Amino acid sequence: MLRRAGLVSKASLRNVPSNTTFRRFASTKTLKETLQDIIPAKQEQLKRLKAEHGQTVVGDVKVENIVGGMRGLKAMLWDASVLDPDEGIRFHGLTIPDCQASLPSAPGGKEMTAESMLWLLLTGQVPSEAQTRVLSRELAEKGDLPPFVRKLIDSLPKSLHPMTQLGIGVAALNHDSAFQAAYEKGMKKTEYWTHALDDCIDLVAKLPAIAARIYRNVYHPNNQLPAINKDLDLVGNYSAMLGYGGNHNLTEYLRLYIAIHGDHEGGNASAHTAHLVGSTLSDPYISYAAALYALAGPLHGLANQEVLRWQLAMQKEIGDNVTYDKIREYIWKTLKSGQVIPGYGHGVLRNPDPRFMALQQFCDAQPELNSSPIIQMVKKTSEVAPDVLKEHGKTKNPYPNVDATSGCVLYHYGLTEFKYYTVIFGVSRALGCVTQLVWARALGLPLERPKSYSIDALQKLAKKDL
């Protein structure tokens, strides 16, 4: 049906499973018009769910869930993506290969764009190329920073962590929040989502300019930031502002990286934080600034730079003659020292991360990456590490996750500033977080307020249950 509608080519659908279904749409509609059509049906679906199945039990709460960080607890609505332990992430039912086959790319490129992923996450529909181009133009036109935000970012000390600076810049955009202004004047609850959407589009549009300004200030203060090109997609402009606009392959890699990192269901720390803060009716800027500070933690968004440090240390120790046996010895050395192998294992996944596989396929297709010592070491490590970790016996998932390769590719292409890597992740993760901020307002989701217990209270409950 998609091909008959002229939305994607036959060739682009070759890798899509035959049982994959897509929704058809009117290709001339804007993003807001598309949402206006979709939201009433979704509201009715949620209403029926609450009325017919509100008392249905979907899982048992155990003491280990409460004291173990609520891991695995089924307690959150997040509609855009679902993470299956075996299959990995699906965006409205589409796998990463499905998205690569069907979502529009930038002119002259092959990888799906951030705009097309944002459209899919928000609407559940695959946008046409024309719709994607219109959204790209809108983001570019809204991408320039207000003078006071530029001045604020430029005033921050270079020694301040880039993620801290990113959160400050995003929070400052709250000064011009459409949602906050409309709320203060008084608006109907049915209008919440429209103003939230305005803020979210504005936030996504301005994130690259904030992130690039931080990169320039901290690492390349003498560089001139180029003006936003209204004819480029979001990531094309971001790459250019970083100073890598002439590197087509790096720009393509950033497009793929940002699209597939855009959402990973709602339970991860950054997404959950955005949802929690947003449930107080904080505007999207404040909500996402909070999410960025969750992302900045070592157990969340810093993993790819830890992988790179570990891989470079391995490279330094074993030298140019990289063999499977030497890698195996180094892995065992790391494990016996009491350290973990960064980039392996996942809180939910029990198979290789499809995001890792997508990035590795990108590497395999680029001659310069095929000859890169660090990239080839990553690939060989991914072939050796699972068996070692299985033998070690202390890892639930011995397979590589996306961080096993993501930072190493950036390093190869010359973006070697480790501390900045999480900022790129922050530009990406906004796609999923803002999506759910819009839908939380459209569906009228309430303030999030779980019940807490003390240790004594839990002990009493446990004894009572015996």
Q: Look at phi and psi of residue 180 and say left if phi exceeds 0, alpha if psi is from -120 to 50, else beta.
A: alpha
Q: Which two tokens stand for residue 367?
A: 């001659």
The encoded tokens of residue 27 equal 């290709």
Is residue 326 a contact partner of residue 318, using CB atoms and an 8 Å limit? yes
Instruction: State the number of CA atoms in the 13 A half-sphere of 66 facing the CB.
Output: 15
CB 168 within 8 A of CB 221: no
Q: DSSP for 153-221? A: HHHS-TTS-HHHHHHHHHHHGGGG-HHHHHHHH---GGGHHHHHHHHHHHHHHHHHHHHHHHHHHHH-T
Please pick, among 198, 199, 403, 412, the residue that the annotation labels catalytic.
403
Q: Which of 324, 207, 329, 348 is nearest to 268 (CA)?
A: 348
φ/ψ of 115, rounded to 5, equals -60, -45
346 is catalytic: yes
Cβ atoms 271, 78 nearer than 8 A: yes
Q: Is 37 a catalytic residue?
A: no
Q: What are the CA-CA distances from residue 365 to residues 218, 251, 377 (Å)?
A: 33, 15, 16
* Local structure of residue 339 (DSSP, 8 states): -
Give the tokens for residue 214: 């931080």
Instruction: Assess whether 403 carries a catalytic annotation.
Output: yes
In Å, the largest CA–CA distance within the chain is: 68
Which residue in 213, 202, 186, 376 sits closest to 288, CA to CA?
202
| Closest of 121, 132, 74 to residue 93, by C-alpha | 121
Spatial distance between the Cα atoms of 375 and 414, rounded to a whole number of angstroms: 13
Strand intervals (E) in 85-122: 88-91
Which of 405, 450, 433, 434 minimizes the C-alpha distance to 197? 434
- Tokens 């979502």 locate to 103
Catalytic residue among 79, 346, 353, 412: 346
Residue 48 CA, chain-centre distance (Å), reads: 31
- Catalytic pick among 300, 320, 387, 392: 300
DSSP letter at 126 equals: P
Around Cβ 38, how many Cβ atoms within 10 Å?
A: 18
Give counts: helices (H), strands (E), the chain.
Answer: 21, 2
Q: Which two tokens stand for residue 180?
A: 């906050």
Active site residues per annotation? 300, 346, 403
